[in-house]
Structure formats: C-alpha cells, structure tokens
Amino acid sequence: MSALVELDRLGKVYSTRTGDVTALSEVTLRIEDGEFVAVVGPSGCGKTTLLKILANLEQHTSGVGILGNNELGANRSDDVGMVFQKATLLPWLDILSNVLLPVTLKRRASAADKENAMDLLRMVGLGEFATKRPHELSGGMQQRAAICRALVHEPSLLLMDEPFGALDAMTRDVLNVEVNRIWRDTHKTAVLITHSIPEAVFLAQRVIVMSPRPGRIVDEITVPFGPERTLELMGTPEFGSLCAQIRRHFEVSAA
Ligand SMILES: Nc1ncnc2c1ncn2[C@@H]1O[C@H](COP(=O)(O)OP(=O)(O)O)[C@@H](O)[C@H]1O
Ligand SMILES: [Mg+2]
C-alpha cells in the first residue's frame, strides 16, 4: 500500500494578540491511499486545525506534512474536498450549480462536469432535486449535496469535519450508511472528524484518538470490520466493546 498522507511530528502554534496557542503537537500519522480514518478527541484539541492543514487552509508551524506528491503548505491543493458541519450551500443557486461550484470558481463547467455532478447527485438519491434551491431540501439532503460538492472535482482526499453533528439521530444513521457506500464506490481516501464514537467506529478502518489541547495522538484503534457496514453492526457486542475501549480515553482525561 502507498501512503497518501504522511505527517511527521506536525505542530501548529497560533499566534494571537493574547499569546501563543499550541493547537497541535508532534502529530505523526500515515494514511494509506483509499483508507478511511476517523479522528476523535475533546473539543478544542485541534481536530479542525488538523483538517485545515491537510486542506492547505492553514499552515503548520513545525514538522513536515506530505499529501500525494506535494509538501503541505507549499501551495493550495485542489486534491482535497471538504465537508463542514453546515452544508453552506449558496441559497440563490440551484443544487446542481452548488455542486459544480468548485469547478465553476475556476473555469466554465463542461458537459462532462455537469454529467459527473449529476452522477454524484443520483448516487446520493438527489437526482430529482438538481434544479431545486437549497431551502427546498431537508438538512440531511443539503448535507448530501455538500458531499457531492466536495467530490465533484475528483479529489483524492475527502475531509469531513463533524459533517452530521447538526442532524437528528435517524438522519445521521442514514447518512452514515450512505457515506460508507460512497467511500466503497469512489475508493476515496477519507478523514472524518466526529464527536460520536459510534460514528467513528461505524465508518472508519482506523480511529485516531487525540488528547486535550495541545492535540497529540494518544491511541490508534484498528477497526476489524469489513468495508461494508450495516446498521445491524452497531448492535453487535464487538462494536460495543470497541466503542467502550475508545470511550475509556475520555473518562480518564475528564477525571
Ligand atoms: N485561527 C485561530 N487563531 C487562534 N487560535 C485558534 C484558531 N483556530 C483555532 N484556534 C485554537 O486552537 C485550538 C484548537 O482549535 P480547533 O482546531 O478548532 O479544535 P477542535 O476542532 O478540536 O475543537 C483551540 O484552542 C482554538 O481556540
Ligand atoms: Mg472543530
């Protein structure tokens, strides 16, 4: 297997008016091409910072990071797609135009781009909604469209920052099954940040546990289940004990 991401003792210090804030400390992590990794950790431990560095939206301040053939921080990368907690669709554009945005910000969308966007929308069950405006869609549907937007320029790395945190539990379950299917269909490398330990275990092949700020990696748990995940899996004793093993980290740090 070849690595898509390699971080070597990566650190990030934010310089603020009131002093320096160390957000990440000595993060060493290798992510294989096609792997699905979830990151869990207490609020403020630097998870979003880590994703922003991977997306080249923030620069690390120590260590080295490689994405594909490029060093992180060298230049803006088009090779990532990002999904945030809020769908952040533009209200005046229809769903198809929203999905095409990463393309149209750079050039005129071709017929092939539009076909690709439609394929993605159909893949998440939104084929009929391409000409609707965002407000005509439910929160879960908007988030599906945001996933299509993150994939439309065919990045090799899909980054998701608590993408379903604002959704109700049932919609979240449905979308988790969907993300698992998208990952299997598209063979993307995926990094998911989540507050939900079951969500991390359900989707990932490996769960990275981070310490309170400054975020360091304190554990890595290999999830032994096959690539296809179904909701029944969540009811199994193996699933429960894996979640319990991860949760123990937070009980200790909260004491
Ligand atoms: N732009 C910024 N400037 C200064 N400090 C920041 C900035 N962004 C995040 N931080 C600080 O860095 C730490 C990690 O933040 P973040 O990566 O958002 O954590 P998480 O996503 O795990 O909740 C926090 O203490 C936060 O206040
Ligand atoms: Mg965050």
Residue 139: count of CB within 10 angstroms of its CB: 14
Strands 80-83 vs 157-161: parallel, antiparallel or unpaired: parallel
How high is the pLDDT of residue 252? 60
How high is the pLDDT of residue 210? 95
How many Å lie between the centroid of ligand 2 and the Cα of residue 49? 7
- What the chain holds in terms of domains, given with CATH numbers, is 1-79+159-165+191-255 (3.40.50.300)
Asked if residues 137 and 95 have their Cβ atoms less than 8 Å apart, the reply is yes
Q: Give the number of whichever ligand sits closest to the CA of residue 39.
A: 1
Atom of ligand 1 nearest to the CA of 161: 21
Mutate to test the pocket of ligand 1, among 16, 21, 22, 39 (most ligand atoms within 8 A of CB): 21
How high is the pLDDT of residue 213? 87
Give the residue among 72, 87, 62, 58 at the shortest CA–CA distance from 4.
72
How high is the pLDDT of residue 97? 97
Per-residue pLDDT of the chain (255 residues; tens, 9 = 90+): 689 999 999 999 999 999 999 999 999 999 999 999 999 999 999 999 999 999 999 999 999 999 998 999 877 677 899 999 888 999 999 999 999 999 998 899 999 999 999 999 999 999 999 999 999 999 999 999 999 999 999 999 999 999 998 888 888 999 999 999 999 999 999 999 998 999 999 999 999 999 988 899 999 999 999 999 999 999 999 999 999 999 999 886 555
How high is the pLDDT of residue 167? 87
Q: How far apart are CA 41 and CA 172, in angstroms?
A: 19
How high is the pLDDT of residue 253? 53
Q: Give the number of whichever ligand sits closest to the CA of residue 43.
A: 1
Question: What is the residue-wise DSSP string for 15-73?
Answer: EETTEEEEEEEEEEEEEETT-EEEEE--TTSSHHHHHHHHTTSS--SEEEEEETTEETT
